């Protein structure tokens, strides 16, 4: 008989179809009947995180307080595992000069190993394995996705373990920091060891419905599912949850 495992899912924020992502992640978590998942809409709802084996987040522009950032850091450093997805590392301010990425979550960005800065328009790009023998991506060939390509600022990059990456050098129209012409490889999925625990970050998984861009606009013209339409993405998520459970090192 499997031991009950406590977990937490934080799904919340702006500019994404959080309902869709929450449901999909809960369905994947439900494939592990021993996992009992608490669901929160923000980091203030993370009471009891210390009792959890792992944390999963799908957020955008959620800004934890200094105390909440410390708690997240301590959870990982103390041995917890954190599966961070897509916009978890994003902070967005819409300004006349473009979308800015204020460095207002320093401890969280350090814990995650990165902060989102910009992305080019959604368009197809190739995702390639960097460590093809790692069990998290072993057997997953390079694939093309039509998703947001995250351009990030990294923290302790030398300590990150790259798993998937892509290449892009160009502009990020609409963002305050729009010149990425000197850039090259960008991490798509990586491990960030920290203390006794680790973060597994996957930047893929943008999704948006018609009503998810308020207050920027009342009605967004198209529904976007991006990497959620790819079997490879679901395989990565399933393996990531096995990593959360300790079945993959």
Q: How confident is the model at residue 1 (pLDDT cuts 50, 70, 90)?
A: confident
239: CB partners within 8 A, 6+ apart: 135, 136, 137, 248
Task: Reply yes or no on whether the pLDDT at 13 is more than 90.
Answer: yes
Read off the pLDDT of each residue in 204-224 and give the average, rounded to a whole number.
96
Sign of CA dihedral 51, 55, 61, 67: positive
Q: Assess if residue 208 is contained within a domain.
A: yes
Whole-model pTM: value is: 0.98
Q: Is residue 151 part of a domain?
A: yes
What percent of the chain shows pLDDT beyond 70? Answer: 100
Q: Please report, rounded to a whole number, the percentage of residues in the chain having pLDDT higher than 90.
A: 96
Band (pLDDT 50/70/90 cuts) for residue 175 is very high
Assess whether pLDDT exceeds 90 at residue 2: no
**CA of 48: how far to CAs of 33, 36, 59, 71, in Å?**
20, 13, 19, 11
pLDDT, position 221: 96
Is residue 65 included in any domain, yes or no?
yes
Q: Which residue has the tokens 């996705």?
A: 145
Q: Rounded CA gap, 217 and 208, in Å?
A: 13
Sign of CA dihedral 70, 239, 225, 205: positive
Predicted pLDDT at 57:
98
* In a domain? residue 75: yes
Say if 214 falls within a structural domain: yes
pLDDT of residue 97: 95
Q: pLDDT per residue over 27-66, tens digit each?
A: 999 999 999 999 999 999 898 999 999 999 999 999 999 9
Q: Give the model's pLDDT for residue 130.
A: 97
pLDDT at 39: 98
Structural domain contains residue 28: yes
Q: Where are the beta strands (DSSP E) in the chain?
A: 5-13, 35-40, 54-60, 81-85, 93-95, 98-100, 114-118, 123-129, 143-147, 151-154, 161-167, 170-171, 179-180, 185-194, 197-202
Q: To the nearest whole number, what is the mean pLDDT of the chain?
A: 97
CATH number, domain of 102, equals 3.40.50.880
Pairing relation of β-strands 185-194 and 54-60? unpaired
pLDDT per residue as tens digits for the range 97-117: 999 999 999 999 999 999 999
Number of domains within the chain: 1
Domain residue limits at 56: 5-244
159 domain residue, yes or no: yes
In tens, the pLDDT along 76-90 reads 999 999 999 999 999
- Give the separation between CA 165 and CA 73, rounded to whole angstroms: 25
In a domain, 249, yes or no: no
């Amino acid at each position: 008989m499997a031991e009950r495992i406590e977990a937490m899912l934080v799904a919340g924020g702006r500019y994404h179809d959080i309902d869709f992502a929450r449901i999909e992640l809960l369905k994947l978590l439900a494939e592990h009947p021993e996992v009992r998942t608490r669901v929160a809409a923000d980091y203030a709802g993370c009471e009891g995180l210390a009792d959890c084996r792992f944390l999963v987040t799908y957020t955008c522009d959620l800004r934890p307080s200094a105390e909440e950032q410390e708690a997240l850091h301590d959870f990982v450093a103390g041995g917890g595992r954190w599966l961070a997805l897509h916009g978890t590392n994003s902070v967005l301010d819409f300004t006349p000069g473009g979308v800015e990425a204020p460095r207002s979550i320093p401890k969280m960005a350090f814990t995650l190993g990165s902060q989102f800065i910009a992305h080019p328009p959604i368009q197809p790009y190739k995702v390639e394995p960097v460590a093809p023998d790692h069990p998290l991506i072993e057997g997953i060939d390079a694939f093309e996705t039509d998703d947001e390509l995250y351009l990030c600022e990294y923290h302790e990059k030398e300590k990150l373990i790259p798993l998937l990456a892509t290449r892009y050098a160009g502009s990020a129209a609409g963002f305050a920091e729009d010149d990425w012409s000197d850039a090259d490889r960008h991490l798509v999925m990586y491990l960030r060891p920290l203390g006794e625990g680790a973060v597994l970050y996957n930047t893929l998984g943008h999704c948006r419905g018609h009503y998810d861009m308020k207050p920027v606009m009342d009605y967004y013209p198209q529904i976007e599912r991006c990497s959620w339409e790819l079997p490879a993405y679901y395989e990565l998520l399933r393996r990531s949850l096995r990593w959360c459970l300790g079945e993959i090192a």
